[in-house]
Structure 1
Amino acid sequence: MFRNYIKIAIRNLKKNPVFMMINILGLSVGMAASILIFMFVQHEVSYDKYHENSDRIYRVSRSFFNQNGEVNLHLGHLAPPFGPLLKSDFNEELEEVVRVLNTNVILKDDANIFEERRFYFSDPEVFKVFSWEVVDGNPEEALNFPDGMVISQSMAKKYFGNAEPIGRSLEMKIGSATANMQVRAVMKDIPDNSHFKADFLASMELVTEFYGGYEAMMKNFGSNNFGTYILLAEGVTSQSISDQIPSFLNRHVNVGDDGSAPSNWTSLQLWPITDIHLHSNLDSELEPNSSIEYVYIYTAIAIFILLIACINFMNLATARSAKRAMEVGLRKVMGADRQLLIRQFMSETIILTFLALLIAVVLARLTLPVFGDFTGKDLSMNLLDHPEYILGMLVLVIVVGMLAGSYPSLFLSGFQPVKVLKGTYKIGSIHEKFRSALVIGQFAISIILIVAVLVVVNQLDYMKNKELGFEKDQVIVLPAHAELVENYETLQDRYMQHPGIEALTLASRVPSGRLLDAQGTKAEVNGDLTTMDIRLSDIHVSHSFMETFGIEMATGRDFNYQLASDSTEAFLLNQSAVRAIGWSSDEEAIGKSLHYGIRRGYVVGVVKDFHFESLHQPISPMVFMIPNDRFNEVAFKLNAENFDEAIAYLRQEWTALRPDFPFNYYTVADRFEQQYEAEERVGTVFGFFAGLAILISVLGLFGLSAYATEQRTKEIGVRKVMGASIGSIVMLLGKDFLKLVLFGFILAVPIAWYGMSSWLDGFAYSISVSWLVFIMAGLIAAIIAALTVSSQSIRAAMINPVDAFKVE
């Protein structure tokens, strides 16, 4: 029986090659797009699931509260004592606890110097928690040696080529500190679907020495830089640990300045490791994560495109129903019941869908590199590595085949044999309206995707071009170092002699970074020194910070080189800080007493608000002060005309001052743009798949319009004989389809507005969804539809009336 269905499907394919190929091509493009998206989604949801005990591994995060209980900071890192304390206090509940500390280091071999960003210090238990495969050496013993280091295979190849890496040494530099590290084990490269990826793991003993020894390290609850992971014992739940966290904090952490219990102003949270990539976007992360929202968005796009492809199939199959009416009538007369006919037509559809899948796989393979660049993922269609893809494709064929063939099967099997054989069978108005509804839905989806593309592009343009309140162009940033800080004034005078350098400054953080540093605040309000229930982010700067970044003063004065007290007592605030403290105006803040951490001083100036962080975050209250240390970065404002010469000069100076350190800088403008890479990818993906959706819709509309003009060929001939112009005939044939586009537009507007408004809510600063976007999307869809329909209408309108009357 099934063999007979295949023969009938092939026969129909030969009989109606154009319409069949339109159907197959539409399904192929839709399925190819869906395969790519589902590969991406599968990769996203697979993060960290490869660990043997992934269901028992949790990362511990730390949050801080205002006095009203509101979270003002949530970090994915902990202070160094928490790991050992968790292990000792929950010895029976926790199988293992491990800490990792990421830092940039300089590694030097006999011939090369490299800056490595995936360098981690780690506790030896790291391989008991994470399932990273070691190919040479003993990793647990390696990290028990002070100079022990485990490196990935790619790094072993990079530094040692084909030579044996075990026992080889690399010189490591961190700031002014130097150590010789010995390779004691080699591991496979950490899989791409990991929320952090280490190329080097070094002994934590060096970090302990940096903190001044184990005892000093165990007293430091303010340096929240350690990624801390726990492996629960069998049968232990995360909730049972979470319930004990408040008492754990109260036992070990010092009380607040006001005598409050630690659990009142800080807390620890447990995150399943498999949730981190899609559900954790905290104020600090080991690496940038994605978001479950984008998984939902991409999945919705895949479903939309499949629906458009299936709608095409339904419409073309039912539109050409008259061609198979006689076949259905004869089969029913010969004894075929409706169930048999439904099985036949469904089988034919699944056969065609399988052919479409074969084409789709080829299309997906060809476009996979481009799609990988769009998403930033290294995706593979290797079915040996991903046998689940085969099952997924089979499910896709069945689902698409059943969906695309459902309505045509029910429709075709419902023909009445008596009317068909008499030639009096007519397609009912209900079916015509249903087909029109499908076209409306098809164009509604296309318009929604076009609106999404336009909104994302406009939001990106807004973020990239919004006035940030400071000058980010031609500002480059280098890591500060002891030689520079100790000789800063001398070097500043020397650097300023170059015509390409306009200004330079030292800072703990520069704009485009995150504001993660804060201390307790007391401010003079209404004559009293009052403890503030706010988070005031601090930035340690040198005197020329505001000048270098072109930050304007709102009132008061900038830091002054001539006033020694500015280095010990003076504070600058931004306008948001003034409002947060409760002063009625910027002017009122000047001269007011301010206690920040251990510094006692007064406000000398207020700067205008500017965007230190990306537009995802609101402008935070900030305080600026001149410290004795904590300078992490040096920023140079360069002259645009002499930019390249200035870079060459600084490279030469850097090499002379620090010959063992590479000259690696970044620009503030570029780092701001990098913060919007996720939105950039979304816009690109939206554009790509919106184009595919329109292509599939055009294919379907082309087939429908071709069939409609074919059915009205004699009518067109009569109208031409009666004097109708080509233009009037084109308008006659096209207006019905344009009406459907209009109805699709009306349906799409509220859906698109709601969806994109919800997406924009994720930004602290965003555009509003303008009505012009909808008009533009509607016009794009209407123009594409008009061009598609008119191409068939013009061809039909130009036919010779004599030939038109000969058409059967």
Structure 2
Amino acid sequence: MLSHYASITLRTLARHRLYAAINLFGLAVGLAAALLILVYVRHETSYERHFPDLDRIFRIGEDSADPARQGPVRFTFVSQPMADLIRSQKDSLGVEAVTRVEPGRPALTRGDNPLYQDVAYVDPDFLRIFRFRFVAGDPETALATPDSLVLSETAARKFFGDEDPLGRTLTSSRGTAFRVTAVIAEPEGPSAVWFEALMSTAAPGFGAPLWINSNGPVYVLTKLGVTAADLRQRLEAVVIPLIPQDVRDDSNGIRLTPEPMADTHLHSGRWDSLTEPPASAGTVYAMAGIALLLLGMAAINYTNLATARASLRTREVGLRKTVGAKRRQLILQFLGESVIVAAGGLVLALVLTEILAPGFADLVGIRLYVSPWSDLPLMAGAVLLTLGVGIAGGAYPAFFLSGIRPAAVLRAGKGGVGSAGRLRAFLVVVQFSAAVALAAATLVVLQQTLHAASADLGFDKENRVVLRGIGHPDVRPRLDALRAELLRIPGVQAASASWMVPGGQGNQSRDINRPGAPEADRVNAEIYRAEHDFLSVLGVRMVAGRGFDPARAEDEMRFAEGAEGTRTFSTILNATAVRQLGFPSPEAAIGQLVTTSDDTPVPTQLRVIGWWKISGPATPATRCVPCTSSMATCSTATISCC
């Protein structure tokens, strides 16, 4: 019987090739678009899910008050000594392991081949909390020594090819030799704690932890039975009182909030820095809604074609009922035809998804950890959705046509399918409305993208090239010679050095305020350090005042050996900084003093010498502070306030 139904279905589709092709490809394109979006949704909702003991891993968030914002400042990064403080009290807290994770991108070199790597400086407990699969080495000793270096499989192949990397050395940009102690496999899913290499926080030149520095998050592994609420109460009672009073005062009070690792990607709401917003669960849910809308449009289109074609088969149904066909048999036949076409659309959609998935992943900035074909939950969902579309598309023709009276159809030559026209009209209206909504949303996104691409950034990004690695011990003393050689290259008009560039990695936040102003008025700010001509190299347009002049002593942040007393240096603010600091106007700010919490050898205050303004939507509060030109990465600084 089933083979008979299948044979009839295939003959019917072969006889109506255009109808079959339109239905097949229309459904396939809709399914493929929805599947690609669901690949993204699956990626965003899979963060950290591959780790064992996930329910016992927490990220410690540090909240502090900021009068310039509505509510507390909630960042991912916490003060450097916090991990050591928590570790010292782990028995009281119910914690088994603690690690801080400070990301960086140093150049690692083997021979004459320096390569920049995404590196994390971590405590030895990192590999106890996050149990990656080890390809080589021992997780118990992989980070036991200051010169330890753990590489990913990809990084190991990059440096050593097919050679055994264990025991071999790589040299950092600081000239320090690191010994490869282990190789770990790529994770099975997306993770915020996956890096190409791991180094110990005890590594040479890493420096002692300072309360003023917040360079990365802190993670803990709790003992069995310790909940987030338990950990929060114990942190408040045990750890907060041990934080130095001046640190608590500077932050207007500190609150430590443990966040379940599974929630840190989409539901945390914490910023990695002043300029890096968190991932949005709302965006993921909206994308899932768009996928369902596309599926609905594909299903409606499929149903419309099926009902439109139904009127052509009334005489066939009448004849088959006359010769003894049961209504149940007709229903099964029509539903079977619909499901077979839908299944063909699914196969074609999966082929399209497999072909387009790598390009789509690059477009949205995700990594494909498994093929859509091998993702069982995604495949199961696709099969169920296709079955539902097939049944929905064939339900009306099946139940309506199977109920017509043979005598009326054969006598009049038609079967009265007026209600099908009303159904199609309703479905067309729904489909058109959904298409208009998607088109409008696409236009809005397009306008926002074009605006972001054409907005005035406040500096000129064209024809600017960034050279990294000037902090290398072999380069730093030769900075002036390097600059001179660069300027000798035809077409090079200017060159400068800096810690960071706009839009680049890294940040350093400090508090700034007006002298005598209430402590509540201070502004948390991000610092870029660079040389005197950094702003001119970027083509920053000054609105009022002046830029830095290397001939002026106050424009050079230089501290003599054994210097005492408060020192005053020049600074440049942008319009947002002027407003947040409470100056009546940008012009009124010129010549005024600003205090800073920067970690300078002696107390430092800054005199405003100029200001600049970004005409686009993003206006980071900015200041520039000169440092000694002999420091390869420090001569001026730019601050961006939240």
Is the contact between residue 594 and residue 600 of structure 1 (CA under 8 Å) also seen in structure 2? Answer: no
Q: Amino acid of the residue matched to residue 386 of structure 2?
A: V
- The one-letter amino acid of 1:14's match is A
TM-score (norm 1): 0.69
Partner SS for 2:117? strand
What is the DSSP-based 3-state SS (H/G/I as helix, E as strand, rest coil) of the residue aligned with 1:205?
A: coil
- The 1:156–1:493 alpha-carbon spacing in structure 2 relative to 1, beyond 3 Å, is closer
The residue type paired with residue 606 of structure 1 is G
Specify the alignment match of 1:253 in structure 2: 243
From 487, 495, 512, give the equivalent of 2:503. Answer: 512
CA distance in 2, matches of 1:370, 1:66: 42
Counterpart mapping for 1:102-181 below 5 A: 102-109=103-110, 111-170=111-170, 172-174=171-173, 177-181=174-178
Instruction: Report the Cα offset of residue 72 of structure 1.
Output: 6.7
How far residue 132 of structure 1 moved from its aligned partner, in angstroms, is 0.7
Deviations 1:475-534 (A, max 9, x none): 22234426766666676567556553333334343322479433333315xxx5544243
Q: CA deviation at 1:49?
A: 0.8
Return closer, same or farther for 1:163/1:69 CA change in 2, 3 Å cut-off: closer
Name the SS for the 1:271 alignment partner: strand
Instruction: Render the CA deviation track for 1:101-138: whole Å, top value 9, x for unaligned.
Output: 222223232x4422232222222222221121112221
Cα gap change, 1:158/1:333 in structure 2, threshold over 3 Å: closer, same or farther?
same
Cα RMSD, aligned residues only: 3.5
> In the alignment, what sits opposite 1:521?
512
Alignment of 1:271 onto 2:259 = yes
| Contact 1:56–1:233, Cα closer than 8 Å, also in 2 | yes
**Separation in 2, partners of 1:37, 1:602:** 51
Q: Note if contact 1:537-1:623 (Cα within 8 Å) is conserved in structure 2.
A: no
Hey, what's the Cα distance between the residues in 2 that align with 1:538 and 1:186? 36
Q: Does 1:34 align with 2:24?
A: no
2:570 corresponds to 1:566: no
Q: How many residues align?
A: 617
Q: What's 2:560 paired with? A: none
Q: 1:8 to 1:227 in 2, by over 3 A?
A: same
Matches of 1:515 and 1:621 in 2, distance apart? 17
Give CA deviations for 1:672-720 in whole Å, capped at 9, x if unaligned. Answer: xxxxxxxxxxxxxxxxxxxxxxxxxxxxxxxxxxxxxxxxxxxxxxxxx
CA 1:490–1:327: 2 relative to 1, 3 Å = closer
Q: Which residue of 2 aligns with 1:779?
A: none
Aligned 8 A contact 2:32 2:352 in 1: yes
Match of 2:493 in 1: 502
- Which runs of 5 or more structure 1 residues have no equivalent in the other structure? 637-763, 765-808
Q: Tell me how far 1:50 sits from its aligned partner.
A: 0.9
Give the residue type in structure 1 aligned to 2:609. Answer: G
1:51, CA displacement in angstroms?
0.8
Secondary structure of the structure 1 residue equivalent to 2:245: coil
Q: 2:459 aligned with 1:463, yes or no?
A: no
The answer on 1:363 being equivalent to 2:359 is no
Aligned residues of 2:353 and 2:372 also touching (Cα < 8 A): no
Q: How does 1:559-598 map to 2 (within 5 A)?
A: 559-567=548-556, 568-597=568-597
2:182 aligned residue (177, 185, 189): 185
Residue pair 1:318, 1:412 contacting (<8 A) in 2 also = no
Aligned-residue offset at 1:279 = 4.1
Q: Are the counterparts in 1 of residues 60 and 257 from structure 2 also a CA contact under 8 Å?
A: yes
Q: Secondary structure at the match of 1:210?
A: coil
Compared CA separation, residues 387 and 561, structure 1 to 2 (3 A): closer
How far residue 435 of structure 1 moved from its aligned partner, in angstroms, is: 0.6
CA contact (8 A) 1:519 1:596 kept: yes
Task: Tell me, yes or no, if structure 1 residue 301 matches structure 2 residue 290.
Answer: yes
Q: CA deviation at 1:632?
A: 7.4
- AA partner of residue 45 (structure 1): T
- CA drift of 1:222 comes to 1.7
Partner SS, residue 63 of structure 1: strand
Amino acid at match of 1:509: M
- Any gaps of 5 or more consecutive residues in structure 2? 557-567, 637-641
Equivalent in the alignment of 2:336: 347
Change (3 A) 1:237 1:95: same
Measured against aligned partners, the alpha-carbon deviations of 1:326-378 in whole angstroms (never above 9, x if no partner) come to 34345556777766644442233223222332333333333344434434444
Structure 1 contact 329–420 (Cα < 8 Å) conserved: yes
Equivalent residue, structure 2, for 1:769: none
Match in the other structure for 1:760: none
Residue 613 of structure 2, aligned match among 601, 609, 616: 609
After superposition, the Cα gap between the structure-2 partners of 1:505 and 1:62, relative to the gap in structure 1 and judged at 3 Å, is farther
CA distance in 2, matches of 1:534, 1:379: 41
The residue aligned with 1:320 is: 309
CA change 1:417–1:87 in 2 (3 A) is farther
Matches within 5 A, 1:481-560: 481=471, 496=487, 500-513=491-504, 516-524=507-515, 529-531=517-519, 532-560=521-549
CA distance in 1, matches of 2:525, 2:38: 44
Q: Is the 8 A contact 1:143 1:204 kept in 2?
A: no
Per-residue deviation, 1:144: 0.9
Cα offset, 1:629, TM superposition? 8.6
Task: Please report how far the alpha carbon of residue 167 of structure 1 lies from its aligned counterpart in structure 2 after TM superposition.
Answer: 2.0
Cα distance in 2 for residues equivalent to 1:630 and 1:539: 17
Counterpart Cα distance in 1 of 2:395 and 2:351: 27
* Alpha-carbon distance in 2 for matches of 1:581, 1:397: 59
For structure 1, which segment, 160-169 or 602-611, has the greater mean C-alpha deviation from structure 2 after superposition?
Answer: 602-611
1:93 maps to what in 2?
94
TM-score by length of 2: 0.85
2:564 is aligned to none
Alignment check: 8 A CA contact 2:545 2:610 kept: yes
Q: Report the residue type matching 1:521 in the other structure.
A: I
Report how far residue 588 of structure 1 moved.
1.6
Instruction: Say if 1:534 and 1:624 are closer, same or farther in 2 by CA, change over 3 A.
Output: same
In structure 2, relative to structure 1, the CA distance for the partners of 1:87 and 1:394 (3 Å cut) is same
- Relative to structure 1, the CA distance from residue 476 to residue 64 in structure 2 (aligned partners, 3 Å threshold; closer, same or farther) is farther
Query: What are the Cα deviations for residues 138-157 of structure 1, in whole angstroms up to 9, with x where unaligned?
Result: 12212112222222223332
Relative to structure 1, the CA distance from residue 589 to residue 155 in structure 2 (aligned partners, 3 Å threshold; closer, same or farther) is closer
2:583, 2:403 → 1: CA distance? 78
Residue 202 of structure 1 pairs with residue 191 of structure 2: no
Task: Determine the structure 1 residue equivalent to 2:207.
Answer: 211
Could you tell me how far apart the structure 2 residues matched to 1:514 and 1:155 are?
20
Q: Which amino acid counterpart does residue 462 of structure 2 have in structure 1? A: D
Structure 2 CA distance for aligned equivalents of residues 450 and 183 of structure 1: 53
Question: 1:740-779 maps to which residues of 2 (within 5 A)?
Answer: none
- Give SS of 1:31's match: helix
2:60 corresponds to 1:60: yes
Give the 3 Å change call, closer, same or farther, for CA 70–632 of structure 1 in structure 2: farther
Larger Rg: 1
Q: 1:509 to 1:95 in 2, by over 3 A?
A: same
Contact kept in structure 2, 1:276 and 1:289, CA below 8 Å: no
Would you say the 8 A contact 2:85–2:239 is kept in 1? no
CA distance in 1, matches of 2:372, 2:294: 24
**Deviations 1:596-635 (CA, angstroms, capped at 9, x unpaired):** 2265445342322127xxx7x8423222212349967589
Q: Which residue does the alignment assign to 2:80?
A: 80
**In structure 2, C-alpha distance between the alignment counterparts of 1:81 and 1:179, rounded to whole Å:** 24
